[in-house]
Chains A and B, each alone.
Chain A
């Protein structure tokens, strides 16, 4: 790792979210906080060690790469706080993600993906 890694995204206005899942993970977190499911300090305590522990990216990494690493840490933290607060178990999230994946594979491109389509895979 160089001593002075380049700061990404200085050229112009990069978007906040580079993929819909990033926006959704952000919104889920803000919404659950709004509902009083956890305090913002609890969120930061869960998120900070994860985002702080990410491996440095090479200088060639794009702004989108940096955003992805950041929101991956965010997603891991969200999954962790859902477990800690008894809102959703990691194992169940994993199973349901697998159902969504099967549903997508069974759905023609351009057609809305229904969760039920993955249950019979």
Chain B
């Protein structure tokens, strides 16, 4: 249609819905009309995941593991239960596993299938985690991927990549930075970045 562009300019006198917005609004109305969905609950879910659940939860877990050997042992043994003692628990069903980085082994997490991610401790996954380039390349060339994140590991450090599933989610426990002896858990938390708990960063390395 030759006048498409001119017509478009005129659409400012009414609202225009893109296809995705119209479909989601249709689904919502249909489900609300059937009594299957409470609109207020939808807003609360978005608010919770955007503002209340985030990587600070995971940072608390890591800082505690660095400062409390009993907690670290419990986390190694049964991460789901240990993390729940701090008040963070999953949507039901999925189990957590803590992966402790050592000088010999660096752990890195991916979900090649889709975007399974430890929501209760890290919040929603970043776009890169959900993107196809990360999902495919994390497995095939983890060292190159780490380099793109600005992480270079000693050659002797082995990289192990863990593929998440809907039943099993991983939390990387990064190595505690040197020179932090005597720091409180609260101080240490500030060094624990989201990426360090996915294994694409190191604690204290990136703000």
Q: Which residues of A are at the interface with B, using a C-beta cutoff of 8 A?
A: 4-10, 14, 16-17, 19-28, 30-35, 37, 39-41, 43-45, 47-48, 51-52, 54, 56-57, 63, 66-67, 70-72, 75, 78-79, 82, 87-88, 92-101, 104-109, 111, 113, 115
B149 touches A10 (CB 8 A): yes
Closest beta carbon of chain B to A24's beta carbon, Å = 5
A28 touches B28 (CB 8 A): yes
B114 touches A28 (CB 8 A): no
B31 touches A20 (CB 8 A): no
A5 touches B132 (CB 8 A): yes
A4–B141 alpha-carbon span in the complex (Å): 9
B94 touches A7 (CB 8 A): no
* Closest partner residue, chain A, to B112 (CB atom): A52
A75 touches B127 (CB 8 A): no
A108 touches B29 (CB 8 A): no
B14 touches A108 (CB 8 A): yes
| Interface hub of B12, B13, B36, B132 (most chain A Cβ within 10 A) | B132
A109–B13 alpha-carbon span in the complex (Å): 5
- 5 A-B residue pairs with Cβ-Cβ distance under 8 Å, sorted by A, are A14-B127, A24-B42, A25-B20, A66-B127, A97-B22
Residues of A within 8 A of B4 (CB): none
- The answer, among B21, B42, B114, B167, for a CB contact under 8 Å with A31, is B42
- Further contacts, 4 of them, CB under 8 A, given A87-B34, A96-B26, A104-B15: A7-B131, A8-B131, A23-B46, A27-B45
A87-B144 in contact given A27-B45, A31-B45, A63-B127 (Cβ < 8 Å): no
A22–B45 alpha-carbon span in the complex (Å): 13
- The answer, among B25, B113, B130, for a CB contact under 8 Å with A66, is B130
B30 touches A96 (CB 8 A): yes
B127 touches A106 (CB 8 A): no
Say what secondary structure dominates the interface of chain A. Answer: helix
A109 touches B133 (CB 8 A): no
Q: Which residues of B are at the interface with A, using a C-beta cutoff of 8 A?
A: 12-31, 34, 36-38, 41-43, 45-46, 49-50, 91-94, 113-116, 124, 126-128, 130-134, 136-137, 141, 144-145, 148-149, 165-167
B127 touches A101 (CB 8 A): no
A21-B24 in contact given A32-B36, A54-B132, A88-B31 (Cβ < 8 Å): yes
- The answer, among B16, B23, B45, for a CB contact under 8 Å with A75, is B23
B31 touches A87 (CB 8 A): yes
B133 touches A72 (CB 8 A): no
* Closest partner residue, chain A, to B43 (CB atom): A27
A35–B27 alpha-carbon span in the complex (Å): 16
B15 touches A39 (CB 8 A): no
A67–B126 alpha-carbon span in the complex (Å): 9
A30 touches B45 (CB 8 A): yes
- The answer, among B14, B113, B116, for a CB contact under 8 Å with A105, is B14
Closest beta carbon of chain A to B202's beta carbon, Å = 15
Which 4 pairs show the lowest CB-CB distances between chains A and B? Answer: A96-B26, A44-B166, A97-B22, A97-B26
* Closest partner residue, chain B, to A43 (CB atom): B166
B133 touches A7 (CB 8 A): yes
